[in-house]
């Protein structure tokens, strides 16, 4: 996980932890995309989206969050998200990518998820929170 050794969720407010986890996953996903690790990048982006949705969920509801696809729909409805992102399809892509390397345009996916992250308020932030030349980052991400 991209947040290993970089945060202690047990010592953090759950909402703050969700935001930090989302940002760490976004940063890690960008590195994985740059290194053509599509399968891992998709899973990492999925975790980033889910964490971003939880961050918003804790603000608008605070209760136990539903499963990812339902969570996305509930946040989308309550926040009236305009980003043209199909989370159900992306969730299925993530599930499928567990079995085999998908053939997808990661640059297009990056653009779409970045729009979603902007609308959710998770970005902008410094993308170098995972310095690519850091030995621990390289070990965690397998690059």
Say if pTM beats, i.e. exceeds, 0.85: no
> Is-contact 23 129, C-beta < 8 A?
yes
pLDDT tens sequence across 105-133: 999 999 999 999 999 999 876 655 555 56
Output the pLDDT for position 18. Answer: 92
Residue 8 lies in a domain: no
The answer to whether 111 and 140 have CB atoms below 8 angstroms apart is no
Check whether 2 has a pLDDT greater than 90. no
The neighbour count for residue 143, using CB atoms within 10 Å, is: 15
Give the pLDDT confidence score for residue 79 in this predicted structure: 82
Residue 54, domain extent = 14-141
Residue 3 lies in a domain: no
Which whole number is the average pLDDT over 79-87?
85
Domain count, the chain: 1
Residue 9, in any domain of the structure? no
pLDDT band (50, 70, 90) for residue 45: very high
Per the domain annotation, does 45 fall within a domain?
A: yes
Query: Which tops the pLDDT comparison, 11 or 92?
Result: 92
* 93 three-class SS: helix
Whether 36 is covered by a domain: the verdict is yes
What is the distance of C-alpha 38 from the center of its chain?
14
């Amino acid at each position: 996980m991209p947040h290993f050794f970089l945060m202690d969720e047990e010592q953090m407010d759950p909402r703050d932890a969700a935001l930090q986890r989302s940002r760490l996953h976004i940063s890690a996903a960008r590195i994985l995309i740059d290194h053509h690790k599509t399968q891992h990048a998709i899973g990492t982006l999925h975790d980033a989206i889910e964490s971003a949705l939880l961050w918003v969920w804790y603000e608008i509801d605070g209760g136990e969050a539903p499963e990812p696809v339902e969570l996305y729909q509930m946040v989308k409805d309550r926040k009236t998200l305009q980003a043209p992102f199909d989370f159900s399809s992306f969730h299925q892509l993530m599930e499928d990518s567990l079995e085999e390397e998908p053939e997808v345009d990661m640059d297009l996916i990056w653009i779409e998820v970045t729009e979603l992250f902007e609308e959710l308020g998770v970005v902008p932030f410094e993308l170098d929170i995972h310095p690519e030349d850091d030995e621990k980052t390289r070990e965690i991400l397998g690059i």
